[in-house]
Chain A
Amino acid sequence: MAPKSSGTLRRREVVSTLLSDRGELLVIAGLGAPAWDITAAGDHPRNLPLWGGMGSAATIGLGLALAQPSLPVLVITGDGEMLMGIGALATIAVARPPNLSVVVLDNEHYGETGMQPTHTGAGVNLAGMAGAAGIPRVFSIRGAEEVAPLRRAIHEKSGPLFAQIKIDAETLKLVLPPREGALLQARMRESILGPEAHLA
């Protein structure tokens, strides 16, 4: 039996909308499907798809948002990855960078390991946890019409912002980004800092 999620949105349509007209947007993607999703939308120097470090995506976004307060920073990750680093919601709420958005694509499953259920399918409410942590702008999204307004909110830099988007538990074709971590880091640094990045 195919795994079921309470969500119906298609993950790559959601990500494609969120990354449209991206401008200066910097994107960190959690390992696994979110990394394939942002790559399917078009690989980009300002994408850092993670290959490991499960649980770190949100705090990488935090460090980046603090370092570049004028640029919008978007973390796109999965429910399992967010649960592993859930304390980051409290750290982000306290540090309060207005330019940071954390979007969880919640399919209620660990997709890379055989679609075992995560806690979110059993009622754990990530948006509620983000709000309770003190993150000022929280979205809980199930409808396609809610995604474009979220995209606009991400560019407003009036957060920090957290969004939980319930998506279908579909398994899609892999679209792999480069997996040389030094390249991924260097290209984002260069896109922000220019060639001087490599002389730091």
Chain B
Amino acid sequence: MDVAPSDTASWPDALFDLLKAHHVRQVAFVPDAGHSRLIRRCQADPAIKAISLTTEEEGIGLLLGAWLGGERGVLLMQSSGVGNCINMLSLSILHRTPMPMLVTMRGDFGEFNPAQVPMGNATQAVLEAMGTLVRRADHADDIVPTADATLRLAFNTFRPTAALIGQRVLGAKTFGKE
């Protein structure tokens, strides 16, 4: 896991408000500490179906199904989960399906766990290799505008998009070792 946003950070609640403003009805996720408050807000909203997945690639299928039925979906995951989605992203390109992803980064800025670095370092390149438009936020003030831009890009131009929320904002877990 990585670090959950502090109680004083306002951006998780602002991201929830953003999903509501974009009329998002299905929120698929594999849990991540960085998304923990946003997931709780989605689960508490009766107008949102918050769907817990066994692997992130299920979320790509779910978003296609949602769009077929006229609902907007968003996929929440950490950067390691992007690696689980690679082939499935072809569905978004093939069918022209809006697939916005909000990705919390690991292996990115002051990481402690060596296992997180390979996928974290490759996240943006892998997404872009599969035709995803990627935008990054490395400061708390940038998170909501960046997410807003990626949601608009996905829903208005029918493609996979991702907002990467940098570990610089989230902080790096140190497993008790400073």
Contacts and interface: CB of A to CB of B under 8 A. Distances in A.
Interface in B57-83: 57-71, 73
B68 A63 contact: yes
A63 B97 contact: no
B26 interface: yes
Nearest to A46: B68
A interface secondary structure, majority:
helix
Contacts of A55: 57, 61, 88
Contacts of B26: 63, 66-67
Contact of B88 (A53, A68, A200): A53
Interface residues of B, number: 33
B94 A52 contact: yes
B52 A63 contact: no
Given A55-B57, A181-B94, A62 B65 contact: yes
Given A54-B87, A56-B60, A64 B95 contact: no
A94 B61 CA distance: 16
Interface stretch (A105-113, A119-127, A155-163, A185-193): A185-193
Given A53-B61, A60-B68, A185-B96, A67 B25 contact: yes
B6 interface: no
A64 B65 contact: yes
B70 A91 contact: no
Contacts of A193: 70
Contacts of B97: 185
Nearest 7 CB-CB pairings of A with B? A63-B65, A67-B69, A87-B54, A59-B61, A181-B94, A56-B61, A64-B65
